[in-house]
Amino acid sequence: MNKLGVTLSGWELANPVIAASGTFGFGHEFAPWYDINILGSISLKGTTREPRFGNPAPRIAECCGGMLNAIGLQNPGVKSVISQEIPDLRKVFKKKVIANVAGFSVEEYVQVAALFDAVEEVALLEINISCPNVKSGGMAFGSSAESASIVCREVKKVAKKPVYMKLSPNVANITEIAQAAEAAGADGLVLINTLLGMVIDPASGKPIVSTKMAGFSGPAIKPVALRMIYQVYSSVKIPIIGVGVILVQL
């Protein structure tokens, strides 16, 4: 028996290590460096309906305890991901993956989710309502229980595969939003995404990244992630995928 094996909504993984969305591209980029099949799975880079260039540079800044990023959901668009990126990944990765769905309207979430739902290599849908690096959509949908419920409910109407809602940590009460997503039919939850932060250049006195504020990640956010996962775990009955250096040491 595989002691590391886990099951997510009927999907069996050999181990619980999943490359988080945005940190691993579309997966195949890392195949020249090591055998990516040792991973439990891969969550693909956040994907929107149309191609996005992302935010202007500079969009990365190092800081104490981690880093800031303001990539801005750069991606080639869902049709290109399905026709090019996933086939390229299939050549080097023999397991199913998680599709990260991003959007700027409920209709866009639904359309992108429906397209990914029809892809054989996709095991479940990760609905990103938590991205802090875009000016509209993203965190706006994840900042209230009502909007999170609407997105989840509409996506569930077109999706046959499990729907996991990726929640924002930049809220006053994450358990309220988690419970709303569960009530709307979510099969699982993903948390947390990056915290909203800022880094100032001491020489100029100005923010380093072009968007001024950006997503803060790294070892410093682990206590926050653990606290939120604990709170949500205590308030819902659906599975949770924990993101960001939260693996428990055995």
| Residue the block writes with tokens 């956010």 | 221
What mean pLDDT do residues 221-236 have?
A: 94
Q: Per mean pLDDT, which range of 141-150, 157-166, 229-238 is the poorest?
A: 141-150
Report the distance separating Cα 240 and Cα 182, nearest Å: 11
64 given a catalytic annotation: no
d(CA 25, CA 46): 9
| Annotated catalytic residue, options 63, 64, 131, 152 | 131
**Rounded Cα–Cα distance for residues 239 and 171 (Å):** 21
Q: Quick one: pLDDT band at residue 140, thresholds 50, 70, 90?
A: low
CA 29 vs CA 26, 45, 63, 90, 133: distances in Å:
7, 12, 26, 12, 23
Range name among 104-108, 138-142, 232-236 with the lowest pLDDT average:
138-142
Decide if pLDDT at 146 tops 60.
yes
Residue 139 has pLDDT above 80, yes or no: no
User: Over the stretch 21-62, which tens digit does the pLDDT of each residue have?
Assistant: 998 999 999 999 999 999 999 999 999 999 999 999 999 999
Query: Residue 1: what pLDDT?
Result: 53
Does residue 135 carry a pLDDT above 80? Answer: no
- Residue 143's pLDDT is what? 84
Statement: residue 2 has pLDDT above 90: no
Quick one: pLDDT at residue 111? 98
- List, for residues 71-126, the tens digit of each pLDDT value: 999 999 999 999 999 999 999 999 999 999 999 999 999 999 999 999 999 999 99
Confidence at 244, pLDDT banded by 50, 70, 90 = confident
Q: What is the pLDDT of residues 176-204, one digit of tens each?
A: 999 999 999 999 999 998 999 999 999 99
Q: What is the mean pLDDT of residues 199-222?
A: 94
